[in-house]
């Protein structure tokens, strides 16, 4: 069987092509298949697996490279690398969105370039690769595709917590204390999602989404920082 365009792009050949099909199947796609042939399930379970594989690969790499860092600093580095925004950027570089199978509604609302979909699909692809070829192959895939992000964070050093940075910026400028408001939460236990707004003086200054409430708060704080620093000319 000839390799697909995606396999050529990522230089990865699947032995079990059904795993690749599943890794590219958004839940909305299966909802519209009805009796048509297609993958038996969406990428959600592979994403669940890939999330753990990805976390372990990144943890091992950071552990080996940084014998000088504390557990807390290593945790910050890992969190920056495995967050949705970072993974979505990797997925865009791989043009993964072009290969996703989406339902019509998800397609029409920009789902092909949505950060959450791209990050989920990258994790699912990692999980599929792990099942297809094992941990060594998954490690090679993750470190190869994320080399740019890994080297960048090595150069930049330990990132500060965006919630702390936001608090410090607002205190310096004399603004009111920001608060975080949970807007939406849901999903099965293995695929929870949270949407959060950060509010200052009754005004929403940032929004965020994540698999944990804390992750969503950090993303909201990062967005708020970008807006405030831009308006202040920082």
Select from 103, 100, 57 the least CA-distant residue to 81: 57
pLDDT digits 0-9 by tens, 65-88: 888 888 888 888 898 899 888 899
pLDDT 10s digits, 191-202: 788 999 999 888
**Average pLDDT of every residue of the chain:** 87
How many beta carbons lie within 10 A of that of residue 84, not counting itself? Answer: 23
Instruction: Give the residue from 193, 181, 147 showing the smallest Cα distance to 47.
Output: 193
* 113 and 166 housed in the same domain: no
Which residue in the list 47, 51, 149, 217 is annotated as catalytic?
A: 51
Mean pLDDT of the region 23-51? 83
Residue 9: per-residue pLDDT: 84
Q: Answer yes or no: do 170 and 147 share one domain.
A: no
Q: Domain ends where: 156, 177, 212? A: 156
Domain boundaries, position 29: 5-156
Q: What's the average model confidence in pLDDT over 123-135?
A: 97
Alpha carbon separation from 191 to 49, 58, 168 (Å, rounded): 11, 21, 33
Give 209-228 pLDDT, tens digit per residue: 888 888 888 889 988 888 88
Instruction: For residue 187, give both structure tokens.
Output: 């999903």
Residue 51 is a catalytic residue? yes
Last residue of a domain, one of 156, 172, 201: 156
**Is residue 114 predicted with pLDDT exceeding 50?**
yes
Q: Is there a single domain that holds both residue 12 and residue 73?
A: yes
CATH number for position 225: 3.30.160.20
Could you tell me the sign of the dihedral formed by the alpha carbons of 159, 160, 161, 162, in that order?
negative
Q: Count other C-beta atoms under 10 Å from residue 134's C-beta.
A: 10
Q: pLDDT per residue over 136-193, tens digit each?
A: 999 999 999 999 999 888 776 666 678 887 888 888 888 888 899 999 998 877 778 8
HSE of 174, CA atoms in CB hemisphere, 13 A: 0
Q: CA angle at residue 95 from 94 to 96, to 5 degrees?
A: 85
Q: Are residues 138 and 212 in the same domain?
A: no
**pLDDT interval class at 36 (50, 70, 90):** low
Query: pLDDT tens digit string along 12-29?
Result: 889 999 999 999 999 988
Structure tokens at 22: 């599943």
Q: How many CA atoms lie within 13 A of 159 on its CB side?
A: 17
How many domains is the chain built from? 2
Q: Is the full-model pTM beyond 0.85?
A: no
Rounded CA separation 42/51 (Å): 15
140 and 191 co-located in one domain? no
Same domain, 28 and 95: yes
pLDDT of residue 58: 96
Largest Cα–Cα distance in the chain?
64
Q: Tell me, yes or no, whether 206 and 94 share the same domain.
A: no
Domain final residue pick, 141, 156, 171: 156
Active-site residue (options: 44, 115, 123, 223): 123
Domain shared by 152 and 183, yes or no? no
Taking the C-alpha atoms of residue 123 and residue 113, their distance in angstroms, rounded to an integer, is: 15
Q: Do residues 144 and 199 both lie within one domain?
A: no
């Amino acid at each position: 069987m000839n390799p697909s365009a995606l396999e050529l792009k990522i230089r990865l050949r699947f032995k079990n092509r059904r795993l690749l099909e599943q890794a590219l199947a958004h839940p909305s796609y299966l909802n519209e298949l009805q009796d048509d042939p297609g993958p038996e399930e969406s990428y959600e379970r592979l994403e669940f697996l890939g999330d753990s594989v990805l976390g372990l690969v990144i943890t091992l790499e950071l552990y080996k490279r940084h014998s000088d860092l504390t557990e807390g600093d290593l945790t910050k580095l890992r969190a920056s690398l495995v967050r949705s925004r970072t993974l979505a950027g990797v997925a865009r570089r791989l043009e993964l969105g072009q290969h996703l199978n989406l339902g019509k509604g998800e397609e029409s609302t920009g789902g092909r370039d949505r950060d959450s979909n791209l990050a989920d699909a990258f994790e699912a692809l990692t999980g599929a690769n792990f099942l297809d070829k094992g941990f060594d192959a998954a490690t090679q895939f993750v470190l190869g595709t994320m080399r740019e992000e890994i080297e960048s964070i090595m150069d930049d050093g330990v990132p500060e917590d965006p919630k702390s940075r936001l608090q410090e910026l607002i205190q310096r400028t004399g603004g009111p204390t920001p608060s975080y408001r949970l807007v939406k939460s849901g999903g099965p236990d293995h695929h929870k999602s949270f949407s959060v707004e950060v509010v200052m003086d009754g005004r929403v200054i940032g929004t965020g989404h994540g698999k944990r409430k804390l992750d969503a708060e950090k993303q909201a704080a990062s967005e708020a920082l970008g807006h405030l620093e831009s308006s202040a000319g920082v």
